[in-house]
Structure 1
Amino acid sequence: MSILINLEPNEKNNKFEIKNISKLLQKRIILFSQSVDDEICNLIVGQLLFLENEDSNNDIRLFINSPGGSVTAGLSLYDTMQNLQPDVSTICFGLAASMGAVLLAAGVENKRFAFTNSRIMIHQPLSKVEAPWSHLDIQIRNGSYFKSILNNILSFHTKQNLTQIEKDTERDFFLSAKEAKEYGIIDNILI
């Protein structure tokens, strides 16, 4: 089995880490336990495509513990999840915040879980504007574009109306596992 991971050898325990990740992949489990960025999303997209190629009929389980991060990187992972043949089940352990919460909600309906003590947080995208004053309107339009996309994704997966999503994401909106289930981000709580 090929391993889709890139660890730089700097300590003897890297072989142990690769072996454990390989065992998880053999069980169709992907671990996402860091901020959302291009590097990790590219790695996870590669793992998803590898597992789909290996067996397109059995589910893939994506374990998420992420504070969120890059919207564009997260959307690349989201789009891949939505277009795979095997179902992608999502499981929150710890925290699924911001883009991490969007990815949690993006699992296949009835296959989205969180452990009892997990926390989920949704909000509008954050922005760091580093542009000349003359370009601020471009940045504002781009931010509004991503805000609209993410709100529509959350509305679709949670079945909450868009107005409710827009209201709830105006500020950080934290939910317990029970509240996330009632809201529609997950379907079941793992004890």
Structure 2
Amino acid sequence: MKKLDIDRNYMEIIENVPDNLAEYQYYLGLQERKLYFNDEVDLGIINKAVYWIMRWNEEDEKNNIPLDQRQEITLYITSNGGCVISGLALVDAIQQSKTKVTTVGIGVCASMGAILLISGHERKAFRHTTVLFHDGSFAVQSSAKKAKQTVKYYERLDEKIKALVLEKTNVSEELYDEKEDEEWYLFADPQCIDLGVVDSIVE
């Protein structure tokens, strides 16, 4: 069997053969400021992405690199969505990043995955990428009073998501309200281009 040519620096870091090639791919991407977000949205994967965005910003600030000369950060997204609360932490990190963050949709960007896609300073997608917007869902097992408080919180959360979509796209408030209760599927080309969900198609 042919032996894999594993990067020596990587082997020194983990001191073992990586568990899988996806782990090694992630490591290689970091060398070029590329983050691969190909999972459900949860605190684990969100914390990794936030960490690297913050770290690269700190490096650029420390080295006094002008904004227009910084190596951009690229976030490749393939996700069926997940936790909105966790996902908003990454939205904040992207928006606060002085170093340019480009988001790229691949395959599917659904629910919170779609919100992450539109949050980039520049947004791109492969031609046949599917983007899905829909309202959030949750379940409550508690007292009636606490359930009402939870419902109110999620209503405010829905308003935050709406405000973000209206700010980052060309979707009008009227169109958003019309589609809010639907499973709103869009292809990157041409629908996402026309609605300003992405800026360009990856050729």
Could you tell me the TM-score, scaled by structure 1's length? 0.87
Task: Letter of the 1:21 partner, please give it.
Answer: Y
Structure 2: any 5+ residue segments left out of the alignment? 1-8, 62-69
- Take 1:51 and 1:15, find their aligned partners in 2: how far apart are those partners? 26
For 2:164, the equivalent position in structure 1 comes to: 153
Structure 1: any 5+ residue segments left out of the alignment? none
Task: Letter of the 1:186 partner, please give it.
Answer: V
In the TM superposition, residue 17 of structure 1 has moved relative to its aligned partner by: 4.4
- Take 1:55 and 1:149, find their aligned partners in 2: how far apart are those partners? 30
Q: 3-state DSSP class of the match of 1:55? A: helix
CA deviations over 1:43-65 (Å, ceiling 9, x no partner): 11011112222336221000000
1:180 aligns with 2:185: no
For 1:81, the equivalent position in structure 2 comes to: 94
Distance 1:15 1:122, change over 3 A: closer
Match runs of 1:29-48 below 5 Å = 29-48=34-53
1:152·1:162 contact (CA, 8 Å) conserved in 2? no
- Take 2:55 and 2:25, find their aligned partners in 1: how far apart are those partners? 17
Structure with larger Rg: 2
Q: 3-state DSSP class of the match of 1:49? A: helix
Match runs of 1:65-144 below 5 Å = 65-108=78-121, 111-144=122-155
- Take 1:144 and 1:54, find their aligned partners in 2: how far apart are those partners? 38
Q: CA RMSD in A?
A: 2.2
In the TM superposition, residue 159 of structure 1 has moved relative to its aligned partner by: 3.0
2:18·2:24 contact (CA, 8 Å) conserved in 1? no
Task: Letter of the 1:54 partner, please give it.
Answer: E
1:64·1:96 contact (CA, 8 Å) conserved in 2? yes
For 1:50, the equivalent position in structure 2 comes to: 55
Distance 1:22 1:55, change over 3 A: farther
- Take 1:50 and 1:40, find their aligned partners in 2: how far apart are those partners? 16
- Take 2:133 and 2:180, find their aligned partners in 1: how far apart are those partners? 6
In the TM superposition, residue 133 of structure 1 has moved relative to its aligned partner by: 2.1
CA deviations over 1:74-107 (Å, ceiling 9, x no partner): 0011011100111110000011001110110011
